[in-house]
A and B are shown apart, each in its own frame.
Chain A
């Protein structure tokens, strides 16, 4: 009935389909009869060939796919609900029919198939022929075996979870939670590797011992042949000349000629070579040489450009000529209008800075070791050391009132030293000098350096050979002399007052000692590690000290930082004769017997965390050497970035910015 309906409604294709289906349904029982396969699906290949694609794709198409010949399989006309209901009511076999979406057809189940389903539903084996309770046939025969693999019944413990294991697990869990046990992080395997990279570097990556390939021996050439051409064979003269060569230069192998292979003798050095090889392996194990590829330029500290650090002294424009001997010392008047110079020819001269005119000359009669202006500009007096004497000269500058004051100060009424009960009088005396109208302080040993206190009243003198009285402090207003209340170790070289506080620096040959004059105790010992200190200068803020040495080294001490040098600058090939700080500009300088003066930028920051910045700026040349001595003194102008240098060539030079 239905099928006829189909025929009526469907077109020719549909008709063919039905026929196919008929054929299939006819053939299927025969197939099933042939072999006992589990499913009939395997044999009945699906009519549709679209494969496992979602059927939705064909939802809007007229066909549902293609048959094996590639033709379109047209969809059947969809019956409406009423028709299908009527059809199902009429058809008694409707319960056996299933709609196959894939092939768009209805399949009628056979009786065997329904039975199979019934058995499945009941939970039995689907095939009726299968017997689940068939007698057991053992594949392995135990009959004549002496020992069974195990005859014992399975012990109970095999079936019970282990108590100790669970305890151990709990223990581990706790340890993990507490973080006592840490798991190794899963190693991150590099996703990519350099396919064509160098093998040696990949060997580095592995943690094995690095394989070091032995050096490749030279490949044998013609001359190593047992029968080389004649031109490779050395003549007898050449062989003789080898004997004259050094053993290292001698050729290791001398080509020889053999007519046949069998006439080659045994290698005479075989044992020696293998012995040497063993020695090599034992004594000179090959090691991988790590070559560091660093640009040496990048290791240099980054310093600011010299251009940014201007102004600093560069060129010499003015010269102060007139001395007849080496100028040993210079000193700049605190306002910067005049400089004083003391020379080996026994004169002290005062020069006008801007024109280079010599304004005054004093003939002391003895080589002038040191000159020092009083730091007060209203007290124009000059301290001069010559031999064992220290003279305090009145320069005659300043207006009348100032001159009056100076004259009062430099006048000694009654010999004050006589009424002093201490033993100082035998070592030192204050004498009025009539010739130069000044005070003469007569020491008992040669005075090498003088230093004024910033207030202009105290004056310290250094006598290197003075033993316990090597450093004396004189008070000008009271005409009194004290010796330093500290025991000195070693020969004192120079002494400096702290620019702001009552601290006193004494440089001996190796060590700079820092004393507090108020508390009368040693504060610090600066260890220079130099052979012989020659000069010392204190930064105007007072926390930094530079020390010049006779081996040409300059040490910068940051006293807040350490008692060891913050920086040691090895710049001069000869003795450093003096070092100086600028009062206001961040400059310092050193001068040396190599006839040069070096100018440095030395910035000290208010921030304590920042280290001082030291930049070498300029080498000032111009002086000529005389008696092996070069530049003997250098001083900065107090207000301008200018440097005065005094040379052994009896000239004083001014270097301007």
Chain B
């Protein structure tokens, strides 16, 4: 072929390969075997595929690709890879290519007044951020703020979208260092240029120290929160009309000056067991809460009984945790060291992590699995970087270093974007990430 002739001046070894893909029509290349030099790395392979595509379609724009051999991403030269994995170079090598996972577009940063401490991108219609100035903000897109959630007297430490059916009304929860949680309702359809200031419809009091993390049940009727007082509290999210009304009436008398009715809620139950600050909670399944704590443990709680079912000890302070991956069972957690650890709780008799990613250089502040993939996750760190990871390689897929200081929070948005906020008071949206 053409490419062969171009590159065969050098005396390196050549390998017979066949490029395969699961991608749709414009990305397909002819599946004939071709000989390529063995010292090609990912970039060389990518240019070959691009040239092949160009040969088919002259209008083709170059696109970075990633290559999988036997289910593992190629991150070195082909020869080294084959040597390391002990794959024979004699027979035809089948290389699967996928579109490289990397943000292709950096949107305008969304300016905040203070450090961005929390972000939630679980709703495709908006992004919810929490800020150190005590305000929560709802963003429709880059630089387009629609709502400001006003009421906390301390910095917001965590936000969570409880439910947002369609583009319409949405319920969200925010946790703050003023020891309260607030629940908010707003219409996500609203799209005025001036952000609407709204007040919480419910204030949840009960923690004795600043709250670190909040997570909502998938059904949306309960939220749980982890706090510095070492407890996890469960709260009802429904409006005052059901069971919180006794409290509501009392408070209304005191606060009758408030224009809007604000009800107060008390904790439904408390999960006690951690010995230090509960830094992160997640509620991935119906009856199970996972929590990470500064006492170096990850615990799994049964909501019905309030007992903790299993512990994983890691030896380091944990700051973030997420459940996802293959079968939504892998636990990813990061903390006071630059290593992102992933445990498989289904593996019996061991508490050693199955994966350890250590490309960061400081504390890890957030980690999130991508919902629809079993391989991809992101992590953000105090070294100012957000990294995208694939379980099939030990190197990060992409490094987003648009932040100038510590990154405090990061999340996926709409399945193809990464939103992250940090000490530079910016919400960065890195979009157009292609993940099959």
Contacts and interface: CB of A to CB of B under 8 A. Distances in A.
**Best-surrounded residue of B115, B317, B337 (most CB of chain A within 10 A):** B317
Interface in A382-426: 399
Interface string A615-657: 0000000000000000000000001101000000000000011
B294 A639 contact: yes
B208 A356 contact: no
Nearest to B132: A357
A354 interface: yes
Contacts of A639: 276, 294
B277 A656 contact: no
A322 to B, nearest CB: 12
A337 B336 contact: no
Interface residues of A, number: 16
A365 to B, nearest CB: 27
A317 B336 contact: yes
B406 A356 contact: yes
Interface string A6-20: 000000000000000
B317 A355 contact: no
Interface of chain B: mostly helix, strand, loop or mixed: loop
Contacts of B336: 317, 640, 642, 656-657
A311 interface: yes
A656 B338 CA distance: 11
Contacts of B319: 354
Contacts, number: 46
B337 A355 contact: no
B317 A337 contact: no
A361 interface: no
Contacts of B315: 311
Contacts of B208: 399
Contacts of B115: 355, 357
A640 B294 contact: yes
Given A337-B210, A357-B115, A317 B382 contact: yes
B363 A317 contact: yes
B277 A318 contact: no
Contacts of A642: 336
B140 interface: no
Contact of B316 (A356, A399, A657): A657
Interface string A310-323: 01000001100000
A335 interface: yes
B385 to A, nearest CB: 14
Contacts of A337: 209-210, 228, 277
A335 B319 CA distance: 17
A53 to B, nearest CB: 82
Interface string B152-165: 00010000000000
B228 A399 contact: no
Interface in A316-339: 317-318, 335-337
B146 to A, nearest CB: 27
A399 B179 contact: yes
B278 interface: no
Interface in B307-325: 315-317, 319
A280 to B, nearest CB: 70
B362 interface: yes
Contacts of B317: 640, 656
Contacts of B209: 335, 337
B363 A318 contact: yes
A335 B228 contact: yes
Contacts of B363: 317-318, 656
B408 interface: yes
Contact of B362 (A317, A640, A657): A317
Interface string B266-299: 0000000000110100000000000000100000
A311 B315 CA distance: 8
Interface in B383-433: 406, 408, 423
A148 to B, nearest CB: 112
B408 A355 contact: yes
B67 to A, nearest CB: 35
Contacts of B279: 354
Contacts of B228: 335, 337
B406 A355 contact: yes
A395 to B, nearest CB: 13
Nearest to B208: A399
A354 B318 CA distance: 11
A622 to B, nearest CB: 14
A565 B406 CA distance: 45
Interface in B9-29: none
Given A318-B382, A357-B155, 20 more contacts: A311-B315, A317-B336, A317-B382, A318-B362, A318-B363, A335-B277, A336-B294, A337-B209, A337-B277, A354-B319, A355-B408, A357-B132, A399-B179, A399-B208, A639-B294, A642-B336, A656-B317, A656-B336, A656-B337, A657-B337
Interface of A: 311, 317-318, 335-337, 354-357, 399, 639-640, 642, 656-657
Closest 3 CB pairs of A and B: A656-B336, A317-B362, A317-B363
22 contacts: A317-B337, A317-B338, A317-B362, A317-B382, A318-B362, A318-B363, A318-B382, A335-B209, A335-B277, A337-B210, A337-B228, A337-B277, A354-B319, A355-B115, A356-B406, A357-B423, A399-B179, A640-B294, A642-B336, A656-B317, A656-B337, A657-B336
